[in-house]
């Protein structure tokens, strides 16, 4: 769909604004540059803070490791076999990782 746009310029207001155009543009550019740097400083986040899927994938993988190691240990114990040390290490490592990720962080002052 084609639209026609008509723009009218009043010559009197154009003449009044012309002498200040350069200084206005310089002021505008300096305001924009300070706003951009302030936004960049405030938006600097780690991927863990900005992307929730990374956090969910890591927590899911650690939970799966923990559940499978506990399940494997229960299964092996029920069969009367010895539980391997690697299974215990995986379970305790996954539990420690989950505790570290799910514990609340101290508030910044």
Burial of 79 per CB tally in 10 Å (0-12, 13-18, 19+): exposed
Residue 28 domain-assigned (yes or no): no
- Domain ranges, residue 74: 47-102
- Is the pLDDT at 18 greater than 60? The verdict is no
Residue-wise pLDDT for 46-83, tens only, equals: 766 777 788 889 999 999 999 999 999 999 999 999 99
First to last CA, the chain: 56
Residue 10 domain-assigned (yes or no): no
Residue 31 domain-assigned (yes or no): no
86-90: long-range contacts, CB 8 A cutoff, minimum separation 24 = 90/65
Residue 89 domain-assigned (yes or no): yes
Residue 94 domain-assigned (yes or no): yes
Residue 2 domain-assigned (yes or no): no
* E strand segments, 26-75: none
Residue 38 domain-assigned (yes or no): no
User: Token pair for residue 2?
Assistant: 């084609």
Q: What is the DSSP letter of 4?
A: -
Provide the domain count of the chain: 1
pTM of the model: 0.54
């Amino acid at each position: 769909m084609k639209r026609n746009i008509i723009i009218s310029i009043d010559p009197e207001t154009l003449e009044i604004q012309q002498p200040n155009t350069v200084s206005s543009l310089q002021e505008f550019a300096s305001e924009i540059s300070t706003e951009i740097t302030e936004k960049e400083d405030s938006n600097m986040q780690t991927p863990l803070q900005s992307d929730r899927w990374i956090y969910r994938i890591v927590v899911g993988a650690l939970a799966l490791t923990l559940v499978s190691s506990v399940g494997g240990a229960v299964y092996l114990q029920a069969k009367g076999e010895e539980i391997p040390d690697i299974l215990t290490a995986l379970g305790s490592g996954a539990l420690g990782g989950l505790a570290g990720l799910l514990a609340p962080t101290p508030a910044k002052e």
